[in-house]
Structure 1
Amino acid sequence: MSTIIGFFRRLYETVSSHIQPQPQGRSRVLKFGIVGAKPISPPVLIFPAKSHPEVLIHGVAARDESRDIASGKKHGIEKTYAGPNGGYQALLDDPEIEAIYIALRNGLQYEWTMKALAAGKHVLLGKPLANTADETRRMFDLAEHKGLILLEAFHYRFHPSIQRVKAIIESGELGAVKSISVNLMFPELTKESGDRYDYDLGDGAWMNIGCYAISCIRYLSSSDPMEVISATHEMDKPASAPADFVPSIDRKTTATLSLPNDVIATVTCDLGIPHYLGFIPHLPQLGITVECTGGEIELNNYVLPTIYHAIKVYTRDATGMKKYRVEKAYTFADGDMDEKGDEWWTMHRYQLEAFVDRIMVRKTLTWVDGKDSVINMEWVEKIYTMMGLGSRPWSKYVPEREGGGGMAL
């Protein structure tokens, strides 16, 4: 009963707390612009921003003028920029905007991130940042050159639940890590033609959600893979696709990797688990299991932990009998992040706090830096290579030299 009550309390507070920011004695307001009007924008930035006293969503831009204006009005955003050619750039040219959230398809993010950085804006960017590791490296090179903050939005990393799991592993309570298993699988609900099935725009199960899984494996093991032992995939196509449609991307990917110290990692990602008996949808599978020499730890729902999660820690007593305890971590322990956060804070709210703190040159408990993002993308590409599907295509955008003859990227 307490679990159910807690769920509804967090849900209520998440919604109601958007109405009134909680003053924290901060004076500067950071104005954000949103490039793209994807449905992901409200939970990632618009809703979290309403409870952050230093953040204001100043403008939104989209190619579809009607959608752009409707999105802006719906969320009380002051400025809207529209037009197939000028909307995005007009937002980047706004001198009042200091930071940009880019909500575009994978294959478009390199171009508009490079343009945003060139315009002197900090950038919060959805994952994966780009179609290739080389493009990712160039993005961070430009951010460093310009003295700007660029963050790949691996939002799970900022929530107390994953931090608690990592702390338990590093405490040595369960002994050395032997294996890590990560599942990120969603039920088949709809398959609209082109939605997550466009090769040119960088789609695919391993691109869109596998990048989370490999990031999680690397983070919890505090190491990078040494080798791809195996990688398999299943191709699929949208139900509404024409008869001559040829699948070019993976719907499901399963991979096994070797890590240092004889650790084995396995991951399964699925954009649409087929219905059971053709009509009964499966439940999502969003779990992490870390097996150690002296026990095991599980975290369920690691990508939406504010809704609900449970950290199960299995150990054996002196007689060898297996026992376990269950922990929850909706907030950080006393002393972490100066005790910022509340139970209703989503991963994105914690992520926004860290992003703003970096811009304001304040301490952050965790971060995803450029090296981390580049290495992660390298392993995404290596697994695609192992499967014989190859990397997603490079962006056709070629950045201009700064000042007509500056840094060549």
Structure 2
Amino acid sequence: MTDHVRWGILGAANFARRHMGPALHMGRRGRLAALATSSPDKAAPFEALAPGLRVHDSYDALLADPEIDAVYVPLPNHLHVEWALKALEAGKHVLVEKPLAMTAAEFDPVIAKRDETGLLAAEAYMIVHHPQWHKASQLYQEGAIGKLVRVSAAFSYDNRTDGGNIRNRADTGGGAVPDIGVYIYGATRFVTGEEPEEILSAEVVRENGVDVWTHITARFPSYHYTGIVSMRMAPWQEVVFHGEDGVMKLTAPFNAGVYGEARVLVQSKDLVETAYRFPSDNHYVHQVEAFNASVLDKVHYPCPLEFSRGTQAMIDMVWAKEQAG
């Protein structure tokens, strides 16, 4: 291991090209060193980003590269567990796009392989690395809104015209909940530290086998939760924590800097509002830097697989409620 983490990417996904590739290369103590793709056209933007990039024509070839320390996996959802395990077996640390698995139980072999190898394996749940969420958690724990009564979360976009998108395909693990439900469920768990006791209702609209609109209500130990995700509505995102003494709202909780400026707004009982602004933080870069620090310094990674498994367990509860009618 050098004094920095040498990253490889499995596949030239658009998301990797636009967001994670630059973050891997920009993040302190790391650099993008290799890409696996059989398409020279798809490799070109990555080579422009990282001169000297080694391009392998297969995923296995990249995993066999002795000059790669860590692998980022942006493949379709149904391939995540398979390639996470292969990366760990090849001696590579691995960061896997969310959702890492399609059920909570599928996390278990990855966790076991992580523990067996002593390597770092994590789901790319970037939002909890953003300071807006650290601030929200701090304010909540300090009692800024008093006893929490209600959490309301929403995340939507419209991709109905993109039928070939993996999010619109059941065979690639698509659907609104796997894609963005992980955010509205996991973020609530992150701030409050509580797990759902029961899914009270689950209304799901499906097209071609994938959920395109899902609204749930849930009971947590100390509050009530309502959340909606959709791939058939105008873009919107917001999370509201409503307490007895105040209200805390995050205005761009999931795509900070793209959807809008990240702000945490706290309104007191007497309607006085305090705003905390985060205009320039890049949560993808923060995520990479946390990963690099964990690999190089052996420090605790802020979002372990056990946390991500808990979010998937909540998703499993939603599907069980849907099936129960």
> Shorter-normalised TM-score: what interval?
over 0.9
Deviation of 1:152 (Å): 0.7
Counterparts of 2:76 and 2:53 in 1: how far apart (Å)?
25
What residue number does 1:144 align with? 115
Contact 1:61/1:68 (CA < 8 Å) preserved in 2?
no
What residue number does 1:127 align with? 98
What residue number does 1:371 align with? 306
AA paired with 2:309? V
Distance 1:353 1:194, change over 3 A: closer
Counterparts of 1:35 and 1:57 in 2: how far apart (Å)?
12
Contact 2:4/2:292 (CA < 8 Å) preserved in 1?
no
AA paired with 2:250? L
Deviation of 1:188 (Å): 4.2
1:308 matched to 2:261? The reply is yes
Contact 2:131/2:281 (CA < 8 Å) preserved in 1?
no
Counterparts of 2:41 and 2:84 in 1: how far apart (Å)?
22
Deviation of 1:43 (Å): 4.2
Distance 1:217 1:52, change over 3 A: closer
> What are the within-5 Å matches in structure 2 for residues 244-259 of structure 1?
247-259=208-220
Counterparts of 2:266 and 2:131 in 1: how far apart (Å)?
16
Contact 1:72/1:80 (CA < 8 Å) preserved in 2?
no
What residue number does 1:405 align with? none
Deviation of 1:187 (Å): 3.2
For normalisation by structure 1, the TM-score amounts to 0.74
What residue number does 1:73 align with? 47
What residue number does 2:229 align with? 269
AA paired with 1:41? A
Contact 1:251/1:270 (CA < 8 Å) preserved in 2?
yes
- SS at the partner of 1:251? strand
| 1:325 maps to which of 253, 274, 290 | 274
Q: What 5-or-longer segments of structure 1 have no aligned partner? A: 1-26, 237-246, 274-281, 331-342, 391-409
Deviations 1:223-266 (A, max 9, x none): 10000100011123xxxxxxxxxx111111111110002x1111
- SS at the partner of 2:167? coil
What residue number does 1:242 align with? none
What residue number does 1:240 align with? none
Distance 1:286 1:172, change over 3 A: same
Deviations 1:276-325 (A, max 9, x none): xxxxxx3x211000001111110111112245122211112xxxx42222
Distance 1:77 1:212, change over 3 A: farther
1:186 matched to 2:139? The reply is no
Deviations 1:103-134 (A, max 9, x none): 10000111111100000100011100022212
AA paired with 2:40? S
What residue number does 2:192 align with? 221
For normalisation by structure 2, the TM-score amounts to 0.93
Deviation of 1:192 (Å): 2.4
Greater share of strand: 2
> What are the within-5 Å matches in structure 2 for residues 97-116 of structure 1?
97-116=68-87
Contact 2:145/2:244 (CA < 8 Å) preserved in 1?
yes
| 1:383 maps to which of 313, 318, 325 | 318
Deviation of 1:73 (Å): 2.8
Could you say which structure has the larger radius of gyration? 1
- Percent identity, aligned pairs only, is 23
Contact 1:37/1:67 (CA < 8 Å) preserved in 2?
no
Q: CA RMSD in A?
A: 2.0
Consecutive aligned runs of 4 or more in structure 1 exceeding 6 Å deviation: none
- SS at the partner of 1:33? strand
Contact 1:206/1:269 (CA < 8 Å) preserved in 2?
yes
